[in-house]
Structure 1
Amino acid sequence: MSIFARTMLLGVVLAGGIAVGAQAQMHMDPAQPPPGNAGAAAPFGAPVMDQHLFFHALLDELEGRFGSDQSFRWEGEAWAGTDENRIWLKSEGTLTNGLLEDSQQQVFFSRAVSTYFDAQIGARYDVDSRPGRGWAALGVEGLAPLFFHVAATGYVGGDGRLAARFEGSYDLLLTQRLILQPKVELNFYSQDDPARAIGAGLSDINAGLRLRYEITRKFAPYIGVSYDGKFGGTADFARAAGAPADEVRFVVGLRTWL
C-alpha cells in the first residue's frame, strides 16, 4: 500500500473515532457530571465568595428639642463586617443648658442567629456630667413580624448592678418619601443609683413620633414630638433637682446615613 493510501486510511479512522466520541457525548446523561473535576461546579457554575466586608453608619436622631427648656439630642450607630459577623458602635446623648446628660457609648460583636435577628455581646459606658458607669452587655436585635425593629439588651455593672433596655420602632410609609416613625425605649435598673439620679425598677420611658421627608434615601429632615417620662425613684430624684418628672417636647431634626 502506498504512503498516500496509508495516510488516507489513517485520516478515515481518526475521523470515525471523533464522530463516535461526539455521538457518545451527546447521549451522556446530563445528571451525571463528567469524570474528574470538569463538572465539579455543575450545574450552577463555579462557587463564589460571599464573605465580603460591608460598612454602614446611621445617624437616626440629630435634633433640637423645645419645651420648658431647649436641648440637643443625638443617637446613631455604625457597623462593619459580613452578613454573619459584625462590630457595632452605638452612641447617644443629650446636651441641655451646657450639661451632657444620658450619654451612653456602646460597642458590640454581633452574629446572625436567624434570618432577621442578631445576638450581640459587648460593653456600655455611661459618660456625661454625672459619675461614669461601665457595663457588660448581652442582647438581641432584629426585625419582628411586620418589620418592627426591636432590641432587648441586658447589662451587668459593678457592685451587683443590673439593667435592661427594650426598644422598638416602625417605619410607616405614607408615601415613597413621607415616612412616619413611632419609637419607644424603656429602661430598668435593679437598684437605686443616687449619683446618677436613677431609681430601681422601671426608670424611664423615652418615646417619640417623627415625620420625615426623604429628599434622598440618605438625607431626611423631620419634625415630631418626644415624650420623656421618669418613674419611681428616678422621678423622685428629678423633682428633688427641680426638674419635671415627665415632659412632651416639639422636635426638629435630621436623619442621615451612609
Structure 2
Amino acid sequence: MKKSLTFLASIVILATASPATAMNKKEPRFTRIIVDQLEARDSDDGTVMAWEASAWHGGDINKLFFSTEGERLMVPEHDDEDPSTESAETRLAWNHAFAPFWDGQLGVRRDWQPNDPSRDWVSVGVQGIAPYWFEVDANLFVGEDGLTNLRIEAEYELMLTQRLVLVPNLETNLYGKDDDKRGIGNGLTDIEAGLRLRYEIRREIAPYIGVHWEKLYGDTADIAQANGEKTEQGIIVAGLRIWF
C-alpha cells in the first residue's frame, strides 16, 4: 500500500511539475496559500487550536494541490494533562479543471494521531461552485485493510457589508466499514457545522468569531459513550483567516 501511495504521489508531482502539454503549453502559473481557519476553540477538554489551510501551484487547468487540517490541545482542562496534537491530516493531489467552476482531484492523504501509527489513503474527489454559489468539496478516500471514507463539505459566504461576511459551513463523514483501532463505526460517523462572522480588514486579512458544533452518530457514538466520551458539543471560536 505504501509503495503504491509513493508511486501515486510521484505521478502527481511529475504531472504538475513537468513541461506543459500542447494543450496548456502557454498557460500561466501562479501560487496561492489560504489559511481558511486558524482559531482557538473553548472546548470541554480545554483550549484547542484548530487549523485548516490549503495551497496550490499551477495554471487554470492543472495544479498541484496541498491541504492540511487538525487540532492541538493547547491549554488542558486538567493540570495533569499535557498539550498535545489530537489529530492532524495532510493531503497532496493533482487538480484538473474539467468544467467551468469544477475541478477533479487525484492524490494521497496521510493521518496522524497520538499513540497511533500514521495512516495513508488514496483520494479521488471533486470541488467547485454549486448552484446559488455554494462551495462544495467531496472526496472518497480508500485506505489500508479495505477502509473507505466519504467526506462531503459545503460552505457559503454571505456578504452582509463590503467587509462583514457571514460564513456557514457543514461537513459530514461516512465510513464503509468499522475502524476498530480508532473507534469508528461504519455508516454515518459525524457531522460538523459552523457559523463564523469575519471582518475583512483587507481581503487578505480577516479576524472572525463564531460557533462550532460537532455530533457523533451510529456505532461511532456508541463507542464514544462506552469510553466515557461526549457525543455532542458546541464550541465558541475566535480566529483569523489570511491568504496570499
2:64 alignment partner in structure 1: 87
Length-normalised TM-score, structure 2 = 0.83
- 1:77 has 2:63 as partner: no
Counterpart selection for 1:59 from 35, 47, 57: 35
The structure with more radius of gyration? 1
Counterpart selection for 1:106 from 78, 91, 107: 91
Q: Offset at 1:255? A: 0.5
2:195 alignment partner in structure 1: 209
Residue type of the alignment partner of 2:27:
Q
What residue ranges of structure 2 are gaps of 5+ in the alignment? 1-24, 77-82
CA distance in 1, matches of 2:222, 2:49: 24
Give the alignment of 1:217-256 within 5 angstroms. 217-256=203-242
Q: Offset at 1:239? A: 2.0
- 1:150 has 2:126 as partner: no
Residue type of the alignment partner of 1:154:
L
2:148 alignment partner in structure 1: 162
Q: Could you give the per-residue CA deviations for residues 192-250 of structure 1, whole angstroms, max 9, x where no partner exists?
A: 11211211111111110000000011110000000011111221232233221010000
Question: Which is strand-richer, 1 or 2?
Answer: 2
1:182 alignment partner in structure 2: 168
Residue type of the alignment partner of 1:67:
S
**Matched position secondary structure for 1:132:** strand
Length-normalised TM-score, structure 1 = 0.78
Q: Could you give the per-residue CA deviations for residues 129-168 of structure 1, whole angstroms, max 9, x where no partner exists?
A: 1332211000000111121100111111111111100000
Moved more, 144-153 or 177-186: 144-153
Higher relative contact order (CA 8 A, sep 6+): 2
Q: Offset at 1:50? A: 5.0
CA distance in 1, matches of 2:101, 2:86: 33
User: Contact 2:147–2:179 at 8 Å: present in 1 too?
Assistant: no
**Matched position secondary structure for 2:220:** helix
User: Contact 2:49–2:71 at 8 Å: present in 1 too?
Assistant: yes
